[in-house]
């Protein structure tokens, strides 16, 4: 098999994966501010997230923990997100260009925004930031995603960052 036919088959597979993800995106139920977050994401309440962080011993902002968080490959699975919806156009942008946000990018607040931020608090896994990127990965059927992994449960006990494949 020639290299050009291998590359062509790979490129066709990537494109069909994006096309399928776009079809799935169009099929998501419309809600007040866009479309519902796709499975396996779990739509949650922001208050529940803040209460879980407080129970883990981290009330308030998590800026230092997020800045210090390792970047890990996390298995894509159910996460509790504080957003109930996503903008379909933004998810489509991430489907076409997954690295839309450059590595090392910082938000107006000065914190990192280059990877989705996932927080384990009180035994549950929450998507702190990156709902559109996580949605794109779910719709594409990817098995892993690079995230900033903030394990408040591990930090509470004085331990290391913890395992990013823990029960969600």
- Segments making up each domain of the chain, as ranges: 3-156
pLDDT level of residue 45 (50, 70, 90 thresholds): confident
* Confidence tier at 91 by pLDDT (50, 70, 90): very high
Percent of the chain with pLDDT over 70: 83
86: β partners: 35
User: Which residue, among 44, 25, 45, 138, has the nearest Cα to 90 in the 3D structure?
Assistant: 25
pLDDT at 50 > cutoff 50: yes
pLDDT band at 5 (very low <50, low <70, confident <90, very high): low
Contact 35, 88 (CB under 8 A): yes
Express each pLDDT in 115-149 by its tens digit: 999 999 999 999 999 999 999 999 999 999 999 99
Least confident of 7-21, 25-39, 59-73: 7-21
Which residues make Cβ contacts (< 8 Å) with residue 35, sequence separation at least 6? 25, 28, 29, 85, 86, 87, 88
Q: Which residue has the tokens 């794109």?
A: 136
Mean pLDDT of 143-165: 78
Give the E-state strand segments of 44-143 in sequence order.
71-75, 80-81, 85-86, 117-121, 124-129
């Amino acid at each position: 098999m020639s290299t050009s036919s291998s590359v062509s088959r790979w490129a066709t597979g990537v494109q069909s994966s994006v096309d399928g993800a776009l079809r799935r995106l169009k099929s998501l139920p419309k809600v007040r501010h866009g479309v519902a977050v796709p499975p396996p994401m779990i739509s949650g309440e922001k208050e529940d997230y803040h209460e879980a962080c407080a129970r883990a011993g981290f009330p308030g902002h998590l800026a230092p923990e997020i800045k210090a968080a390792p970047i890990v490959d996390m298995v894509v699975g159910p996460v509790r997100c504080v957003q109930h919806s996503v903008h379909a156009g933004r998810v489509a942008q991430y489907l076409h260009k997954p690295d839309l946000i450059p590595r090392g990018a910082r938000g107006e607040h000065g914190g990192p925004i280059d990877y989705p931020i996932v927080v384990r608090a009180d035994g549950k896994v929450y998507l702190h930031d990156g709902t559109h990127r996580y949605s794109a990965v779910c719709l594409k059927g990817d098995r892993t995603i690079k995230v900033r992994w903030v394990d408040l449960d591990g930090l509470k006990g004085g331990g290391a960052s913890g395992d990013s494949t823990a029960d969600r």
